[in-house]
Structure 1
């Protein structure tokens, strides 16, 4: 039996979880589809998900189509939980992108499609809710072609559109309407087909077109479009047939060395840790020892990788709905493991050089070392979605809970690393990075319900960052300045690095000049000190070099270096100077051409800058950049500026230097319950 790891993705409320339920029902896994509104779905297992009616954590279920086992990953649709989607797309062989026949292509839909295209994950499109009032067909297909993919191929017609009597009728292989669109898509990307098409004076062979469509879909170069209603089941059988026919299964052999990726971590009510991983090659069994590796940004003594070994104490695979115990699992499987107590999201399973994902980016998972669409899963190490750019300070309402709060937050950060818990000892505050206000509300509810800790948050603020403006150095020698508090010698130099490089720490001294524990204390203290620069923001994109080192045995301790290093970092940054950078987004605007000047004026008023503009058929298409903190204001004002016809799409585009007086990271505002 072959395996397909399938993701279901969508803009919030497009019907993604309802479709998952219908697929499970169609496959005979459940007797009745669950309801999001009633909180009875299989994949929304958290009490908070059931109560709110939204997906917060990715969930895995399984069903079979003939001889194909499908591990289906249901992902969140709300943009505040995009980090869950980020991790899921890296373990997929294929995807179904769901959109509503009423709302059509929405902001999140376009962002998701861009990532699926970038990672070359074969994708089918399912247009849901064809039985709802306002459902569209022809103009929606044009919208999909214009905004999502020019290679969209409708696989069925719809009658009774927008009514309870709506039904789909799959196109026959030789239906002229289907063949015309299919030939257009194939000719656009297949030179051999185009040549044959021209020579045959526009006549095509239906079976040859079908074969080419399967090939092109597997290469993520064509996207079959299915229509239906997940609530009633209309069109779902056609989609299931499309999943079987068009999406390529997982590749990789069990006889190869083990390689895999950890994409999810959860803990049960007793605190036991479970690790979810996609196995790319090889196999693993209960009671076996497994090497777990992670990138650590170039630690001086580990060549950029850190590894440890864990023993598998239990193993589950996904069969006909949920996870079932197994003695062994292999390539293509998604597994739920216990025993890897030190594993984190993003870790790799297997020894360096053993598997196709070891020490490289992406890969086919078949041992060939070649890139291929689908199953790229491990994907590029670079994030595919924007990092969180909002920050809030969290405090326990009851002082007695303060010692428990940090541990509880660390547990939640283990499940979602992009929450990024930061402890500022100087300000005596704990801050978390977030995507939005909904995520903050969910975090508050999780702490209260799962840990019994009532918390309050400060007002959410934009996260800026600092980069060195020049080169700065600082040096301290034992007793040279009469400082008997610190019995250590150290020198640091800080210099700029390219944007996006992060923090690189290196040595200009011999590694043996200090005990390993002292080296570790210096590097850890450097990274901690850089969390707060001269303006209060995190300092990044820099190279920090240890230029001098010394100690007096047996007097010097690691604590001396932990005390000294932050002082040296502060002095070196002061001498180098820093610039403050703000997060910006790339905006795409679609507005009536006669109203574009007013929109451009507001864009400039909000410190945005247009990059390009084109006018087609009475619509102006504007691209530009805008500070992240002003996107909400532009979205609020756009309907009034455009007679309600304006469309805004925003996508994280990095950081730009703040002009004028740099904002300082002030003390937190009073918390709000």
Structure 2
């Protein structure tokens, strides 16, 4: 029997959970269809999900249909929980993207599409709500091809009976296959499966999950056109989720990517799998082993995190979905440290919360995506931990980068210690923070180079404009020096961190440091007579926009799309509601970090003094006459023991 792990992803209200219910019902897994709005959906088992009527956490279900054994992972649909959806993507064989026929491809749908492309996940598309008045399959398909890919092709046909027109559309996605098709007039099922697997073709199915139409065709198509993944015999597993059960027991969710996972096996930091659970909705069964390709939850592991590789499996890349807002916890009458303990547990489940405790200010800060996530977080703290708290007004999360390259030097030489590190800092647009080494092993031994790279990964490096995290920068080890007698690992930690900050201070002196802020991608739907007002608003926000589009199905309405700073567009939805008398609709999703539109104002407001930040000092320590002494960052190049490579 073919086994596939598939995740269902969608824009909120597209009918993702309804489709999950329909698939489970048709496969005989459910005797009765549940409803999201009735609070009895099989996969929305959490009390908070039932109350809110949305999927907040990812869930697992298992079904069998003919020769298909399907592990189904349902994911949150709201943009505020996109980071949890991204965690799940790393373990999928295939994705099922649900698109509402009435709404078409929306902003968050494009975000999901880009994520699926980033993780190279072959994707089936189910167009839902086809029973709605005025919906046409042909028009909907054109919308998918225009906004997602030309490879979106209708597969609503019995197995192996695709029409000649459909086969020709498939062949047009690959020149070699097209030439062969023109000669033979056919394409084998294996070739079509490979094209789907390689993301050249995206099979589209149409129906209504609520009315169970198109579900059998989808299941038949999914069974027929998917390929089972082949795995090695060497054990590996990928962590994609951390949760706690009703008894507060910590669960590490994994997909086994090689060999077999055995109960009681030592998996991480000498810790054993105490219990291996296979979940189906809210219920689970324990098992002694899980073969490659299957998903399970493990108890007994501590310090695991989403993206961690076990066994031969490598760690995942850093997630692309990042929070953009910073909030301070108002504990009300609760003990602040009790609140911190609870938030640390929630951060364990969702590392993107980035819970930060300031001992000096005696305050807790969290990072989130938006207001809905904030409301959910507040409710979770009340329901699970009996903590009634508030969050004070949020602030924007900024980042910093550089626009020129520089060689940073760090030297750490108190008495009986020694290390000198030279790092090349270079701009690395849209690639986050990356590390490398181009240092000859004859110059600096492998173990010391390893110490440098390890210490570069060990902390979040802050910029020198406002102390915001550094991004879009490449750090390369290019030179270094150790002492055979006095050098220890801690010396290279100090020298490495000081080298980063010293280089940043050099760039600040050259006006080559840059402040970045998050921007929204927006879609604003208004009446045509309100377009001028909207354009004026967006210009005042320092945003950009495309020429307005008139909706063909309603010529009274126009759509304005573009980009604007999060700091300026926050709260604009209420203004839209007011001036359109409730008829307008603003949809925003976080796009990426761009140069800050009011950098000077923010820098003055933050009043950050990088030299006074002793935990991130740019200065170095040298030794003379048997004693260590500090050397200011701008004097380090002249005092360094190794020559500069870059000037």
TM-score range for the pair, normalised by the shorter chain length = 0.7 to 0.9
Report the equivalent of 1:284: 261
Q: Is the alpha carbon distance of 1:151 and 1:511 closer, same or farther for their aligned partners in structure 2, counting shifts above 3 Å? A: closer
**1:502 is the counterpart of 2:440:** no
**1:336 is the counterpart of 2:297:** yes
Question: Could you tell me how far 1:93 is from its partner in structure 2?
Answer: 0.8
TM-score by length of 1: 0.73
Report the equivalent of 1:69: 69
Q: Alignment partner of 1:340: what SS?
A: coil
Report the equivalent of 2:20: 20
Report the equivalent of 2:82: 82
Question: Could you tell me how far 1:77 is from its partner in structure 2?
Answer: 0.3
Report the equivalent of 1:439: 373
1:471-550 alignment runs, 5 A limit: 496-499=425-428, 500-502=431-433, 527=459, 530-531=461-462, 533-540=464-471, 541=473, 543=475
Deviation per CA, 1:605-664: give whole Å up to 9, x if none. 3223469999999999998653233455777788989x9899977552333255551414
Cα distance in 2, alignment partners of residues 659 and 37 from structure 1: 44
**1:220 is the counterpart of 2:199:** yes
Deviation per CA, 1:360-409: give whole Å up to 9, x if none. xxxxxxxxxxxxxxxxxx6xx243x431111111131125x211122211
**1:251 is the counterpart of 2:180:** no
Equivalent pair of 1:468/1:495 in contact (CA under 8 Å): no
Q: Is the alpha carbon distance of 1:523 and 1:63 closer, same or farther for their aligned partners in structure 2, counting shifts above 3 Å? A: same
Question: Could you tell me how far 1:591 is from its partner in structure 2?
Answer: 10
Q: Alignment partner of 2:139: what SS?
A: helix
Question: Could you tell me how far 1:114 is from its partner in structure 2?
Answer: 2.7
TM-score by length of 2: 0.76
Q: Alignment partner of 1:427: what SS?
A: coil
Cα distance in 2, alignment partners of residues 389 and 467 from structure 1: 16
**1:652 is the counterpart of 2:591:** yes
Q: Which shifted more, 91-100 or 537-546? A: 537-546
Unaligned stretches of 5+ residues in structure 1: 157-169, 293-307, 352-356, 360-377, 480-486, 668-673
1:492-641 alignment runs, 5 A limit: 496-499=425-428, 500-502=431-433, 527=459, 530-531=461-462, 533-540=464-471, 541=473, 543=475, 577=508, 578-585=513-520, 603-609=538-544, 625-631=563-569
Q: Which shifted more, 407-416 or 575-584? A: 575-584
Cα distance in 1, alignment partners of residues 245 and 503 from structure 2: 46
**1:185 is the counterpart of 2:185:** no
**1:414 is the counterpart of 2:353:** no
Report the equivalent of 1:364: none
Question: Could you tell me how far 1:344 is from its partner in structure 2?
Answer: 1.6
Equivalent pair of 1:71/1:318 in contact (CA under 8 Å): no
Cα distance in 2, alignment partners of residues 512 and 145 from structure 1: 51
Cα distance in 2, alignment partners of residues 467 and 593 from structure 1: 40
1:161-172 alignment runs, 5 A limit: 170=157
Question: Could you tell me how far 1:13 is from its partner in structure 2?
Answer: 1.0
Report the equivalent of 1:263: 240
Cα distance in 2, alignment partners of residues 426 and 492 from structure 1: 31
Q: Alignment partner of 1:527: what SS?
A: coil
Q: Which shifted more, 117-126 or 622-631? A: 622-631
Question: Could you tell me how far 1:421 is from its partner in structure 2?
Answer: 1.3
Unaligned stretches of 5+ residues in structure 2: 608-647
Cα distance in 2, alignment partners of residues 549 and 132 from structure 1: 72
Question: Could you tell me how far 1:358 is from its partner in structure 2?
Answer: 3.9
Question: Could you tell me how far 1:596 is from its partner in structure 2?
Answer: 8.5
Q: Is the alpha carbon distance of 1:608 and 1:277 closer, same or farther for their aligned partners in structure 2, counting shifts above 3 Å? A: same
Q: Is the alpha carbon distance of 1:390 and 1:649 closer, same or farther for their aligned partners in structure 2, counting shifts above 3 Å? A: closer
Q: Is the alpha carbon distance of 1:615 and 1:36 closer, same or farther for their aligned partners in structure 2, counting shifts above 3 Å? A: closer
Q: Is the alpha carbon distance of 1:341 and 1:198 closer, same or farther for their aligned partners in structure 2, counting shifts above 3 Å? A: closer
Q: Is the alpha carbon distance of 1:496 and 1:633 closer, same or farther for their aligned partners in structure 2, counting shifts above 3 Å? A: farther
Equivalent pair of 2:410/2:495 in contact (CA under 8 Å): no
Q: Is the alpha carbon distance of 1:562 and 1:257 closer, same or farther for their aligned partners in structure 2, counting shifts above 3 Å? A: closer
Q: 2:310 aligns with which of 349, 352, 357?
A: 349
Question: Could you tell me how far 1:594 is from its partner in structure 2?
Answer: 12
Question: Could you tell me how far 1:440 is from its partner in structure 2?
Answer: 0.7
Cα distance in 2, alignment partners of residues 549 and 459 from structure 1: 49
Cα distance in 2, alignment partners of residues 193 and 563 from structure 1: 58
Equivalent pair of 1:123/1:247 in contact (CA under 8 Å): no
Cα distance in 2, alignment partners of residues 657 and 455 from structure 1: 32
Cα distance in 2, alignment partners of residues 402 and 122 from structure 1: 46
Q: 1:428 aligns with which of 362, 372, 380?
A: 362
Equivalent pair of 2:193/2:227 in contact (CA under 8 Å): no
Report the equivalent of 1:238: 217
Deviation per CA, 1:259-306: give whole Å up to 9, x if none. 11000111123332111101111112112222x4xxxxxxxxxxxxxx
Question: Could you tell me how far 1:326 is from its partner in structure 2?
Answer: 1.1
Q: Alignment partner of 1:581: what SS?
A: strand
Deviation per CA, 1:550-609: give whole Å up to 9, x if none. 9x99xx9x9x99999999998886565353222235668999999998876655432234
**1:97 is the counterpart of 2:31:** no
